Homo-oligomer: A and B are copies of this chain.
Amino acid sequence: MSDSPPPQSTGSSVVKELPPVFTRHEAVVGAALRAELDGRTLPIYDSLRYYMGWADVDGTLTHSPEGKRLRPTLCLLACEAVGGDPADALPAAVAIELVHNFSLIHDDIEDGDRTRHHRPTLWVVWGEPTALVAGNNLLAISDIATQRLRDAGVSTAIKAGHILTERYLSMMEGQYLDIAYEGRTDVTVDEYLMMIERKTGALIEGAVELGALVGAGGSSEVVEGLRAVGDDIGRIFQIRDDVLGIWGGPALGKPIGADITCKKNSLPVVHVLEHARGAQRRELQRIYARDEISAIDVERVLDVMDGLGTQRWCQGQAETRWNRARKRLASLQLSSDATREFLELGEYLLVREV
């Protein structure tokens, strides 16, 4: 299977739907996440239940869209892929999802983002100081979940703790670089990829590595191989996110070119700013020097991107990584079920539209 041609960016409608591995783990992940906040009665935990999609602003339990839970799904799948019981990796899956949500709560503050999953962000409802503390609370709760990994054996638990701390620090360094890049129009593609490797990649890679580590009961070649697959999956996830940020449009409830309007440094933007030449380059620099980017400016940037084949190039970057990941998956000799589910998941990430 590793020699079949790479999936096309125009993948079939079947592939564009969330593959079964997500729904297979959805209930157990959802229950385990909720359990971490059960019995916590200070009002600040209501703000977290709201953010996680389990409650309204007033604390009434509800069912809002919870997101894909990509990281816990990857973690449990990696655990199964090496023959482990996914229940053993559940504390790690939960911890990673909570760290991810902690980072989103703080990102929303840092970026001034007012909406996520079609709802007001935490700081918009509760104010910045409370949102900042709520994020920090969630991080502590993720530590508590991590400590529950002890059942997987002390040495694995200690190693898992180290991996989580490293990944968390990488994520913060990536977040710092993202902030430091703001307002710059000379960020290179290499600088950008190095930033997302940390900001998004570290935690996704960590999800796969931790699941495999717990499932295998310690380090091994297959754990290292899956970690590398996780690294590729993280890159693919972010590249597709960046493509959707420009061309995703209606399915995301955003106009075409949304990330241009808000001057976000994403892969297509970094690519076009690095590769445009001559008059086009000067025009892009003028547009990005303006306080606000108009709809006409967005059209111009999109035209230059079309001319440079920016979307195709971005998608190609993701496909290159996916081909590498597929070859590696084939070499790891996982069960056929696990291989198939990893392939479905990766192919979905490559072409997803939401």
Contacts and interface: CB of A to CB of B under 8 A. Distances in A.
Counted per complex, copies of this chain come to 2
Contacts of A179: 127, 129-130, 133
Nearest to A147: B162
Given A139-B139, A150-B158, A133 B42 contact: no
**Interface of chain A, main secondary structure:** helix
Nearest to A164: B143
Interface in A173-198: 173, 175-177, 179-180
Chain B CB within 10 Å, residue with most, of A42, A136, A147, A175: A136
Interface in A87-127: 106, 109-111, 127
Interface of A: 42-44, 106, 109-111, 127-130, 132-134, 136-137, 139-141, 143-144, 147, 150, 154, 157-158, 161-162, 165, 168-169, 172-173, 175-177, 179-180
Given A130-B179, A136-B172, A158-B158, 18 more contacts: A42-B173, A42-B177, A44-B180, A109-B128, A109-B129, A109-B132, A110-B132, A110-B133, A130-B176, A133-B172, A137-B169, A137-B173, A140-B168, A141-B169, A143-B168, A147-B158, A147-B162, A161-B161
